[in-house]
Amino acid sequence: MVAELVERCLPKPSDEGYIKARLLEALGEARLALEYLERGFTRDAAGMAFHAWKALLAALLRLELERLKALVKTEEERRWLESRAVPRVPTTRMKELGRLLEEVGHYGISAWTDKALDLHDYQHHGPDPDTALSKYTTRESAAADVLLLLKELARRVETLRGRVKWSEELEKALEEVRRALAR
């Protein structure tokens, strides 16, 4: 089931199914992150948790696109949101996108996005006692943050139940992540 969720072709961001597809992707990546943690692959788990968070951001950006476009000042920024931010969620702009989502009511998302970016650094550099390349000095501290981020991701997906077209498939994927988090 996880591979099927992660390997699907994404609908175009303008399609109705884009948000659901990105939420399923987020949950599939979260499930993979938890499997990697169970096997002791902390760096891979951190990478999957980062990708799961990025997919969640894509879903939220698409869900809130009209409100976000109303916040920005120029037509160029509005076009960028639609053509680049939603379909790509550039890693270099995730902090800024998180702040925009905060402004439209997704409170606390900036801090969680920072945690996802820290895990992204850990994925590439591993534990770093000097914290020059990674904020994590041990595998255990990175693993703990992977779990925290994924719990928050599951919580945020659940809060969207009344705002997106919910399906049995979304419910099942969310339940799989919850079960894996409870172990």
24 in Cβ contact with 170 (< 8 Å): yes
Contacts of 29 (CB under 8 A, 6+ apart): 6, 48, 49, 51, 52, 55
* 167: Cα separation from own chain's centroid: 19
Of 115, 120, 67, 70, the residue nearest 90 (C-alpha): 120
Q: How far apart are CA 10 and CA 115, in angstroms?
A: 26
26 in Cβ contact with 50 (< 8 Å): no
Residue 2: predicted pLDDT: 67
At 68, the amino acid letter reads: L
Q: Which residues of the chain have pLDDT under 50?
A: none
Residue 14: predicted pLDDT: 85
Angle among Cα 34, 109, 27 to the nearest 5 degrees reads: 30
Three-state SS letters, 92-133:
HHHHHHHHHHHHCCCCCHHHHHHHHHHHHHHHHHCCCCCCCC
149 in Cβ contact with 116 (< 8 Å): yes
Residue 109: predicted pLDDT: 98
Residue 146: predicted pLDDT: 98
Q: How far apart are CA 103 and CA 67, in angstroms?
A: 9
Q: How far apart are CA 95 and CA 113, in angstroms?
A: 7
Residue 5: predicted pLDDT: 61
